[in-house]
Amino acid sequence: MLKGAAVEQMRCPKCGEEQPKASDCRYCGIIVSRFIDRSRHDGKSPVRSRSVPESGVPYPLIKLLLQLLLLLSLVLMALSLWKKDQMPPVGFYDLSQLQSPRQTKTYMDPFQVEANDITYNIYPEYDYTLHGVVVSYHDSDAWWDVYHHGSWQDFLNIKDLCVIWGRNVSSGVYRDMQFSNTTWTCFASWQDRHTGSRFSMANLSNNHLLASDLAINEAIMSVEVGDHIALKGVLASYSHSDGQFARGTSVVRTDTGNGACETIFIEDFEILSKANEGWRLIYSLSKGGMILALLGLMLLLFLAPVTNRIR
């Protein structure tokens, strides 16, 4: 077998590209000898060196892909952040299930439960069943909530859900309104009198959910705006620390103001329809993509070879 002779190589003194030896550079077109003579006359080094990755890893391509991933993730995260909490249309819900809550006499005796090493006394008043659409909520462990876990030492009320049912859903009026929750209150607002006339405050309730079962806790904490939920439990007042903390419950749907919220010890909880699952998945993936891209770009700062050009 015949083998060809090795071709002598050179590096262009201007652009630094390696190539077969010749009188001129096939990349930038300079005549090598003239460029070297001119550089010597000017007192400058004619050689431009560039470090070449010995590993063969295409660092520039990896950096470009990470930058594109970061840009795409930011765009999708911004879009899905806007979309994921929008209320679905009326057709998303099974209106036959979204009837008024059912409240009946209870035969359950007072009982005790523990949460975070605190014993709570529960005083059942009525058996209670509710189907509703979640329009806003408040997590009791929110960093700005200084009452539940702070002043009150209340670790049993894990979440408040503001829900609607009946004509408030079937009319679609909820899509023209704004809802929000604070530490113990749900607010509903509208921009004009016509929208307000279509909405019934008797078909809305703010529910303080008490739960000590781990599986029920996890289900409750996974609830998001727009979800159709079903719960079963007892309307109850409760206390702890020998009555130093005590909280009651509303037993009608027509009251407003302080004390108008339903306090419910949950026995069963289910999310029947999860709203905006696609947008919420996109939000989670885009957030993960953003974190991955940022970590990758930071890692490249340490791993990628630096290109040096000496003029």
Residues 19 and 146 in one domain: no
pLDDT at 309 over 50: no
Residues 23 and 150 in one domain: no
pLDDT at 117 over 60: yes
Residue 227 lies in a domain: yes
CB 230 within 8 A of CB 274: no
Q: Is residue 121 packed enough to be buried (19+ CB in 10 Å), middle (13-18) or exposed (0-12)?
A: middle
Residues 117 and 194 in one domain: yes
Residues 115 and 264 in one domain: yes
Residues 187 and 264 in one domain: yes
Alpha-carbon distances, residue 1 vs 4, 7, 52 (angstroms): 10, 18, 33
Residues 176 and 98 in one domain: yes
Residues 124 and 267 in one domain: yes
State residue 197's pLDDT score.
95
Residue 70 lies in a domain: no
Q: In the predicted model, what is the mean pLDDT of residues 300-311?
A: 64
pTM score, two decimals? 0.75
Q: Which residue has the higher pLDDT, 35 or 156?
A: 156
Q: Which residue has the higher pLDDT, 112 or 39?
A: 112
Residue 152 lies in a domain: yes
pLDDT tens-digit profile of 149-192?
988 999 999 999 999 999 999 999 999 999 999 998 999 999 99
Rg (CA), the chain: 33
Residues 192 and 99 in one domain: yes
Residues 12 and 119 in one domain: no
pLDDT at 311 over 60: no
Q: Which residue has the higher pLDDT, 43 or 217?
A: 217
Q: In the predicted model, what is the mean pLDDT of residues 90-107?
A: 97
Residue 297 lies in a domain: no
- In angstroms, the CA 71 to CA 48 distance is 34
Residues 23 and 120 in one domain: no
Residues 44 and 137 in one domain: no
Q: What's the total number of domains in the chain?
A: 2
pLDDT at 129 over 50: yes
pLDDT at 17 over 60: yes
Task: Please provide the average confidence, as pLDDT, over all residues in the chain.
Answer: 89
With residue 272 as reference, give the H or E element that holds it: strand 262-273
Residue 32 lies in a domain: yes
Residue 85 lies in a domain: no
pLDDT tens-digit profile of 198-237?
999 999 999 999 999 999 999 999 999 999 999 999 999 9
Range of the domain at 12: 8-48
Torsion of CA 151, 152, 154, 159, to 10 degrees: -80
With residue 81 as reference, give the H or E element that holds it: helix 59-83
Residue 2 lies in a domain: no
Identify the three-state secondary structure at position 4: coil
State residue 1's pLDDT score.
46
Q: Is residue 294 packed enough to be buried (19+ CB in 10 Å), middle (13-18) or exposed (0-12)?
A: middle
Task: Count the neighbouring beta carbons within 10 Å of the beta carbon of residue 28.
Answer: 12
